[in-house]
Structure 1
Amino acid sequence: MVKWRILVSTAVAALTVAAWGTTAEAAPTAPPGDGVVSPSVVGGSQATQGEFPWMVRLSMGCGGALYSPTLVLTAAHCVSRTGANSSITATLGVVDLQSSSRITRTSNYVYRAPGYNGNGDDWAFIRLSSPVTTLATLPIATSTAYDSGTFTVAGWGANREGGAQQRYLLKANVPFVSDATCNSSSMYGGEVIAAEEICAGYTSGGTDTCQGDSGGPMFRRDASNAWVQVGIVSWGYGCARPNKPGVYTQVSYFSSAIRSAASSLGG
């Protein structure tokens, strides 16, 4: 079974290089645990060009969101440590990863959430070598006001459990699942960290993020009808299984730490 929603096979990473024409780095080893993690969008449809301009594909087999012109917000389990790092390539501005109009940037620094050990605290920043000024950024939720309802997820990950990574960005809508329900014996049996993780998906399964979607945003409209990021793709048992919704880093819980880190990184 797969828990984390990151590509963990260097062979698969190599295949993505051939498919996308981008430079991939080997995915970091998944955190210790029971070995059950996954995220691409299962049960989704193709996004239209420009629909989600802040979506980012990262060369280690993860997603992300453009937080500022120089910072990509992603998952901590997508990176190995905090420090200088020029090995990651970010692809932005396109639905089709092979499009000649795609924007690419290399990284120059990675910031992983302090204290991250594979259990919670699953957020990180990747700083780009030069700013991307032509694309909209995605604001983060700073309160719990939008941590319920129906969310949108998007990514280039697998469109089925064990499936191939996607050339075109897929999107889907998933409903909020309460902490109590998500931690019930029929779902995750207390494995979800209620204070800092948020669940979304259908009891019947069928729609979910999957391997390769890790680090990508979960978002919804705010009171002004603008997009706001409420989650970061983190983990789940398999992809789109019944009673196994996706588990996302709850951005509102970490919003102060995220903003402080961004400021320290010049973003």
Structure 2
Amino acid sequence: MKLLSALKRCVAAGAVILAAVSLQPTSASAAAPPVVGGTRAAQGEFPFMVRLSMGCGGALYAKDIVLTAAHCVSGSGNNTSITATAGVVDLRSSSAIKVRSTKVLQAPGYNGTGKDWALIKLAQPINLPTLKIAETTAYNSGTFTVAGWGAAREGGAQQRYLLKAQVPFVSDAACGQAYDELVPNEEICAGYNQGGVDTCQGDSGGPMFRKDNAGAWTQVGIVSWGYGCARAGYPGVYTEVSTFAAAIKSAAATL
């Protein structure tokens, strides 16, 4: 949908991870230095995390529905081609729960810009905790947690183990200075101005979340896109979940 340097964070064989990178400035079109870091999540720390077979992440919205990014799927309708892996941080674990999809619902009106959310109906429920979504903008600030099995460096390979990191909120005004393509009412940005920590290819569709006032994890974003990974001056761009909460709830009811 965008220039090659404005990468959607999904790859066919992708993986996901948040990374620390050398803090040398790079242009939007230059290759980023190798990234390292992110810390390994503990087994059971984020039980709602899901790995999808097309190379994306997701979260359990309901025990039989995964919330992911619209650009991770090819449209709406019956679909049995996706396998969701859950219940483990190690994708090679014999304890992994694997369930096939039955239907996909891509955000109505999605055309490659904004509205980057989708739901995947599973053939059977996964008996794990779900991740509630933010229904207001009350939690669209502060420090967020991101997690995934995506690339540990720009253009890198998928990770075997689930990695996690924290990223700070970036205002629409500041993010818009980096990205002319930003859709402020539909997207939320997070990251460090100096770079170094970010989601990357293969993390698409995974959740960005934080604790609510009751101490419960709440999803505020969906990994969507950005210029490269962890580049200075280019934060990650996420679907603003609160904007679409009512639409997501309504769509889930039809599944």
Give the TM-score, by structure 2 length: 0.89
Offset of residue 264 of structure 1: 1.2
- The runs of 5 or more residues in structure 1 that have no matched partner are 17-33
Whole-Å Cα distance in 1 between the matches of residues 231 and 42 of structure 2? 27
Which runs of 5 or more residues in structure 2 are unaligned? 16-27
Q: Does 1:113 align with 2:117?
A: no
CA distance in 1, matches of 2:8, 2:233: 17
1:173 is matched with 166
Partner deviation per Cα, 1:142-190 (whole Å, 9 max, x = no partner):
0000000000000000011111100000000000000000001xx21x3
Q: Percent identity?
A: 67
Match of 2:38 among 26, 44, 67: 44
Structure 1 letter corresponding to 2:228: G
Structure with more of its chain in strand, by fraction? 2
Equivalent residue in structure 2 for 1:82, among 76, 86, 92: 76
Q: 1:132 — aligned with what?
A: 126
Q: 3-state DSSP class of the match of 1:181?
A: helix
Structure 1 stretches (4+) deviating beyond 6 angstroms?
none
176, 187, 197: which one aligns with 1:207 = 197
The answer to whether 1:143 aligns with 2:136 is yes
Q: Is 1:242 aligned to residue 242 of structure 2?
A: no
Letter of the aligned partner of 2:40 in structure 1?
Answer: Q
2:20 is matched with which residue?
A: none
Give the conservation status (yes or no) of the 8 Å contact 1:6–1:62: yes
- How far the C-alpha of 1:43 sits from its partner, in A, is 3.9
The separation in 1 between residues aligned to 2:160 and 2:188, in whole angstroms, is: 28
Please report the RMSD computed on the Cα atoms of aligned residues, expressed in angstroms.
1.7
Q: TM-score, normalised by structure 1?
A: 0.85
- C-alpha distance in 1 between matches for 2:6 and 2:72: 15
Read off the aligned partner of 1:129 and give its amino acid letter: A
Amino acid at match of 1:144: T
Equivalences for residues 25-64 of structure 1 within 5 A: 43-64=37-58
Amino acid across the alignment from 1:155? G
- For residues 80 and 244 of structure 2, the distance between their equivalents in structure 1, rounded to whole angstroms, comes to 26
Q: Which residue, out of 242, 251, 254, partners 1:261?
A: 251
Count of equivalent residues: 235
Give the counterpart letter for 1:199 in structure 2.
C
Contact 1:42–1:158, Cα closer than 8 Å, also in 2? no
> Could you tell me how far apart the structure 1 residues matched to 2:36 and 2:120 are?
26
Which amino acid is 1:120 matched to? G
Residue by residue over 1:80-133, the C-alpha shift from the partner in whole angstroms, topping out at 9 and shown as x without a partner, is 010000000000000000011110000000000001000000000000001112
